[in-house]
Amino acid sequence: MSADGTLQWEVPAGKWTILRMGYSLTGAKNRPAPPTGSGYEADKLSRKDVESYFHGYFDPISRALGPLLGKSLRYVTMDSWEAEIQNWTEDMIPEFRARRGYDPTPYLPVLAGRVVASADVSDRFLWDFRRTIGDLLADNHYGTMAELLRQKGIGIYAEADGVSMDFMEDTLLNKSKVEIPMGEFWVHALHPEIQYYVDVRGAASAAHVYGKKIVATESFTGGGYESPDTLKKIGDYWLAQGVNRFVFHTSAHQPLDTKPGNTMTGMHLNRNMTWAGQSGPYFTYLSRCCQMLQQGLFVADLAYLLPEGIPSSQSFWGEGLRPAPPDGYDYDCINSDVLVHRMSVNSNGLLVLPDGMSYRVLVLPETDKMTVPVLRKIRELAVGGATIVGPRPEKSPGLAGYPAADTELQTLAADVWGDLDGVMRNKHYHGKGLVVWGLPLASVLNSLALAKDFEYTRNLDAEVPWIHRHTDDAEIYFLVNRADFSQNIDARFRVAGKEPELWHPDTGSVEPVGFNLSGNRTTIPLHLAGRESVFVVFRRSTDATNRALPQPIETATATVNAPWTVTFPPNLGAPPSIQLEKLEPWSANADAGVKYFSGTATYTVTLTVPATAFRAGAKVLLDLGAVRDIAEISVNGQPLATLWKPPYRVDATAALKPGSNALEIKVTNEWTNRQIGDSASPPDRRVLAPTTGLRGGGRGGLQTLPESGLLGPVTLVTSALP
């Protein structure tokens, strides 16, 4: 072909179709970005182009920071894949040849929808082609970036490649390249959509199976000015899915005191929040949870092998893992890289990884295709004593080694699966191991006498997500009551010979708890308040088989009656003060300044405490009822606590006295109320500076005006052991 595109060819006899193929840029640009930072996406399948991008981006930073690079600047963050589709690179032919072992050129018409040789051959080539793209993305994009940054002492947080799923990827292989794998979840996913669940579990699995301590997430994306209680309700679920480090979307440094602050789309976490000064207890809670969940190793009984083809991930839009993990057992996903290069079997039949993780059962994907190296490894594990569940493979998926690969695979499969048909014949003992096809996963686990790691008595179908970590000397379980109401449950743990304790991450307190030991199961009666989370920790050996502890009895002592005086700070639209004959939300007040107030208002009242409330060994609890959103409590000038979630209750015994007491409660809500008020007011009556961070902006408009303030009822409760 000449430079002008003229084809010089002596055409043999026959009917020919001439297909000319080329490649070009997709035109994709980075987004979102300001004009000064906008440009074309790099070729992420090319090592040399990624290296060029790296030097263009980081060399100026390196020159500016000098010796601070790798010390003050220790990590960079790579967001989710938002570069659209890429399916070619300049070196695709040699890269394909090196990775798949044959020349792809004769099969390229398949990429244009043509059949080469046969439909089966064409499909096999497409499998190899997609697998090559996935490998190039992992090695040449994430691998190259990580390698070059590592040379400068810098690590990577990376979603690698996140929930976009419009690209062909091996999600665990991508995340294996970086120091801290990440997932993503949004504020609006209080009942999580499947793509966020899959993404977070993928990040957790990548960390577990590649020996990484931290599982991070882009956290609370798409929110507004949420309260700490809302963040806890959402975040607790993801902690139970393996997250142990939160990366807030978005937290921006604020150069000005202009309220509510300048923040990109997302929940707005910055020093200009209404509750910035009261944020300590929430962040202390989060820190305790993350610190506990970074201890030791994750405990899982099941290892699910993901499909070898691309994309290799849990199903984002389908039915989830199949077969589904039975209740009471946790799992990780592994890919073919982990299976072939990192997994072995020990003398007890456990599947083990070099960093200490272990699993009892390997679950294969529901497919009849498998590569020969993967099946060779499965046979090795079965011979060594592993339990393997899944269907017999019938053929190799790709064109590499075809057709000899199919013959070898069928020979190996006949050896490993024997005469199993998955219908009438379901179990085959191979070497020291067991291969199962066609039986429910729960029955397989029962046949192994493997008790559930955790289970509980369900009340009204309330959900209690959980996670288990193991250290050299302790078993650590994290439980979450996702219901808004309290629950009394019998919780059973696969632990014996150690006494349980309750560790409360909100207060930092540790307390003993009653238990009953039977066999290798410890049962604990637990009372979980609405949305309560707790760690159950087993760390001290015991010979006892049971322990009963008395529960305190609570008696209502007094109700705090009106009038309440509520004072407001200046310049935020509200009057200096109001009187309330009964507690009601600010949003119900006729005064627009109160109705749309955002900030901190102070409630004061005289609290009369009867002398009968004070008894030896008893506590006098101050219960605020409902609060929206944060309450700082002082009694007789003595600060007691900052309460940021239900139950809004504090031990006030030491601060109270019989008779009259001065009660002061500072209540802080979100910016949302004031923003809604400003949106309905003329410019000269608005309180806040203009902002693009209006809650709900661009997502269907503003939300309903939230209830705010002290809602009550405020009561005194005496608590004493019987």
The span from the CA of 603 to the CA of 668, in Å, is 11
Chain centre to alpha carbon of residue 563: 46
CA distances to 176, 364, 385, 502, 530 from 242, in Å: 16, 22, 29, 20, 22
- pTM value surpassing 0.85: yes
Residue 601 DSSP SS3: strand
Low-confidence residues of the chain: pLDDT under 50: 692-701
Q: Is 303 exposed, middle or buried (0-12, 13-18, 19+ CB in 10 A)?
A: buried
Tell me the CATH class for 454-549.
mainly beta
**What backbone torsions phi and psi does residue 448 show, to the nearest 5 degrees?**
-85, 0
Q: What is the CATH number of domain 555-697+710-720?
A: 2.60.120.260
Q: Is the peptide bond before 465 cis (omega within 30 degrees of 0)?
A: no
Q: Where are the alpha helices (DSSP H) in 418-490?
A: 441-447
The span from the CA of 65 to the CA of 68, in Å, is 5
Look up tokens 């193991």; give the residue: 470
Are residues 626 and 585 in contact, defined by beta-carbon separation less than 8 angstroms?
Answer: no
Pull the structure tokens for residue 503.
């560790």
**What backbone torsions phi and psi does residue 688 show, to the nearest 5 degrees?**
-95, 155
Using alpha carbons only, give the angle 521, 504, 621 rounded to the nearest 5 degrees.
Answer: 120
Q: Is the peptide bond before 325 cis (omega within 30 degrees of 0)?
A: no
Candidates 565, 586, 570, 583; CA nearest to 670 is 586
The span from the CA of 453 to the CA of 211, in Å, is 22
Candidates 143, 171, 149; CA nearest to 159 is 171
The span from the CA of 132 to the CA of 398, in Å, is 11
Task: Kindly state the DSSP code that residue 540 receives in the 8-state scheme.
Answer: E
**Residue 462 pLDDT:** 78
Pull the structure tokens for residue 12.
């043999």
Q: Is 598 exposed, middle or buried (0-12, 13-18, 19+ CB in 10 A)?
A: buried
**Residue 458 pLDDT:** 77
The span from the CA of 431 to the CA of 655, in Å, is 71
Residue 416 DSSP SS3: helix
**Residue 194 pLDDT:** 65
The span from the CA of 649 to the CA of 418, in Å, is 64
**Residue 694 pLDDT:** 45
CA distances to 377, 445, 638 from 388, in Å: 12, 11, 63
Using alpha carbons only, give the angle 13, 17, 23 rounded to the nearest 5 degrees.
Answer: 135
The span from the CA of 137 to the CA of 588, in Å, is 55
What per-residue string of b and e applies to 110-138 under the rule 16 or more CB within 10 Å gives b? beeeeeeeeeebbebbbbbbbbbbbbbbb
517: β partners: 522
**What backbone torsions phi and psi does residue 54 show, to the nearest 5 degrees?**
-55, -50
The span from the CA of 360 to the CA of 350, in Å, is 5
